[in-house]
Chain A
Amino acid sequence: MIEVSGLVKTFGSFTALDGVSFSVGEREILGFLGPNGAGKSTTMNIMTGYLSSNAGSVKIDGVDMAEEPGRAKKLIGFLPEQPPLYADMKVDEYLNFVYELKGCTLSRAAHLEEICRVCRLSEVRGRLIKNLSKGYRQRVGIAQALVGNPKVLIFDEPTVGLDPKQIIEVRNLIRTLGRTHTVILSTHILSEARAVCDRIVIINEGRVLADERTDSISRTLNENTRYGLKICGPQKEVAEALRAVPGVLRAEITGERERDSFAYRIECENGYDTRKNVFFAMAEKGYAIVGMEEEGLSLEDVFIKLTETSEKDKKKGGGAKK
């Protein structure tokens, strides 16, 4: 549905995007992850035709944004980081304006009614946008993106500044929309991408660091299996005993304390299930295990790891050049 290839964007001497390429399939929710200033918004702005690129192309459903911007823009619903709302308009007036702006041909009343129902705006349709809460404004922003029923929805940091309840609501809404639309969602909150997206593209300093399915991205980089344990007994001795268990590469005290148990983290050889060994070793010493769970590499870890790897590669490249 979306083909982004080799996007390069420079602002003066600063390179914001350096060969960004990825593709998104139909009815897929893609998370666009990266720290602030990574190039997420620039990529999205190029994808929506707001900015042009120095090189590369964006194709929406086979339509090139640079060659046929009018046609390509009709296929996209875009929610920028700051929703583009006219504060002096009522919600209904605003949605009608967007309807006309996009040159929609769908039945106006039924279409806007449906959008308001999906975004749960029906009860505020007659209210001025400037009097709405941040959460409602965000929903109006999402509603304007839905006008015209575009195939592709692009949301730039849609949950920024919302309270936890509103965040959950917006995430649920995006998940619902993902069933019928292709959605691209940018965020710097890693847990958000994991909660909502089917696939994640990680970007840093204008380069794509990873492009994989959400569930496999942590597995790909996870060399060793990690377990979190809660064991009753003297801290140091328990840690020593854990280190002595066959298959355990590393054991550390994480410092959390719960009544008479302490928390530990052990790292085991990849593919080697050492849980039974740990159980019997602890039982032999009389230390009761009160909790044990596998800890997959979190997306936070993945992100830091990928960023470090990229920086190391860069340094190596720089050294080689010298």
Chain B
Amino acid sequence: MIAIYKREMRAYFTTPIAYVLTAVFSAVAGILFCICTLQMQTSDSSAYFQFLMYVYIVIIALLTMKSFSEEKRARTEQLLLTSPVSLTGMVMAKFLAAFTLFMGTLVLTVPFFAVLSMYSDPNWAKIIGCTVGIILIGSCFIAVGLFMSSLTENQLAAAVSTIAVLCGLVMTSVLNSVIDFYPVRAVLSWVSIYSRFANFTYGIFDIPAAVYYISVCAVFIFLTVRVYEKRRYA
């Protein structure tokens, strides 16, 4: 498992993926931060974190698109699947590699808050709450991205389908406001990733929401493992 993790990390940094994604992310996140806090002359960064979620939909889709699809295309998955590493170990290694890079991009935003603290007295509880929320949501996004990548050997198809699924998961809250039928609203509200983020923006550590995000993450990791198991039995 550690070998696959190391190999994944290496692959991110020996190809332009990590550099391009972190550069683009930093630029977009910086602009968003300026607009949401500095230009608005507020120290409340919850709007910034909400926009950041949408940025991560694209960034994580691009980050995870080659995780399994490239292995499948290059037939290197045969090496992994015939080695003494378990399927769960293989999927977890790839998850952790993508998660590490995702955390790296998040760390790059730390100086933003240092700047903010120079001009105001930000609510650190809110910032930490939002950060925890974003980490949990990012983990879900990565798990979805890995799952979509395991379904195809075309990287572009993996990225586009990941963006579509993640948009679907986030946008359910929008649908929620236009649908009158209660049972559908209840289901959409339960599925919505976005609506559960609200409490984190108030600086509250919402345990049910955290459990939900971890569960979604676990379900998609499990489904990815199942994709490989199913292929063995195909």
Q: Which residues of A contact B (CB under 8 A)?
A: 11, 48-52, 69-71, 73-74, 76, 78, 80, 82, 84-89, 93, 97-98, 100-103, 144
Which of the residues A70, A74, A97 comes within 8 Å of B3, measured between beta carbons?
A97
Spot the interface stretch: B70-78, B125-133, B153-161: B70-78
Total number of B residues with any Cβ neighbor in A under 8 Å: 25
Interface contact A73-B7, CB-CB below 8 Å: no
Which residues of the partner chain B approach A69 to less than 8 Å between Cβ atoms? Answer: 84
The answer to whether B14 touches A88 (Cβ under 8 A) is yes
Q: Nearest A residue to B14 by beta-carbon distance? A: A88
Check B6–A100 contact: CB distance below 8 A.
Answer: yes
Identify B81's interface contact among A50, A70, A71, A76, CB under 8 A.
A50
Closest chain B residue, CB of each to CB of A76: B82
Contact B76 A88 (CB under 8 A): no
Q: Considering the complex of A and B, which 8 residue pairs feature the smallest CB-CB distances, nearest first?
A: A100-B3, A84-B79, A101-B3, A48-B82, A84-B76, A73-B84, A80-B78, A82-B75
- Assess whether A84 is in contact with B84, with CB atoms less than 8 Å apart: no
Chain B window 1-29, contacts with chain A (Cβ cutoff 8 Å), 1 for yes, 0 for no: 01110110011001100000000000000
Residues on B with C-beta less than 8 A from A11 are 234
A-B contacts besides A50-B82, A69-B84, A84-B74, 17 pairs, CB < 8 Å: A70-B86, A80-B78, A80-B79, A82-B75, A84-B77, A84-B78, A85-B74, A86-B11, A86-B76, A88-B11, A88-B14, A88-B15, A89-B10, A97-B7, A98-B79, A98-B83, A101-B80
In the complex, per-residue mask of B137-169: 1 if CB is within 8 Å of any chain A CB, else 0: 000000000000000000000000000000000
Taking a contact as CB atoms closer than 8 A, the residue among B74, B232, B234 that contacts A87 in the complex is B74
Residues of B within 8 A of A144 (CB): 79
Residue pair B83, A80 in contact (C-beta under 8 Å):
no
**A97–B79 alpha-carbon span in the complex (Å):** 11
- Complex: A51 Cα to B232 Cα, angstroms: 4
| Cα A83 to Cα B80 with chains together (Å) | 12
Chain B residue at smallest Cβ distance from A90:
B14
Residue of B nearest to A84 (CB): B79
Residue of A with least CB distance to B231: A51
Nearest CB on B from A51, distance (A): 6
For A98, list chain B residues within 8 Å (CB): 79, 83
| Contact, CB under 8 Å: B82 / A86 | no
Measuring CB to CB, which residues of chain B are less than 8 angstroms from any residue of chain A?
2-4, 6-7, 10-11, 14-15, 74-86, 232-234
CA distance A87 to B129 in the complex (A): 42
User: Once the chains are docked, how many angstroms separate the CA of A102 from the CA of B4?
Assistant: 11
- Cα distance A93–B83 in the bound complex, in angstroms: 17
Q: A49-B81, A86-B11 are in contact. Are A100 and B2 (CB under 8 A)?
A: yes
Partner of A101, one of B11, B85, B232: B85
- A139 nearest CB across to chain B (Å): 16
Closest to B232 in A: A52
A73 touches B83 (CB 8 A): yes
Instruction: Write the chain B residue with the least CB distance to A72.
Output: B84
Q: Once the chains are docked, how many angstroms separate the CA of A85 from the CA of B76?
A: 6
- Alpha-carbon distance between A82 and B3 when the two chains are bound, in angstroms: 22
- In the assembled complex, which residues on chain B have CB atoms less than 8 Å from the CB atom of A52? 232-233
How many angstroms between the C-alpha atoms of A102 and B2 in the bound complex?
A: 11
For this complex, 21 residue pairs linking A to B, each with C-beta atoms less than 8 Å apart, are: A49-B82, A69-B84, A70-B84, A71-B84, A73-B83, A74-B84, A78-B82, A80-B78, A80-B79, A84-B75, A84-B76, A84-B77, A87-B74, A88-B15, A93-B10, A97-B3, A97-B6, A97-B7, A100-B6, A101-B83, A102-B84
Which residues of the partner chain B approach A71 to less than 8 Å between Cβ atoms? 84
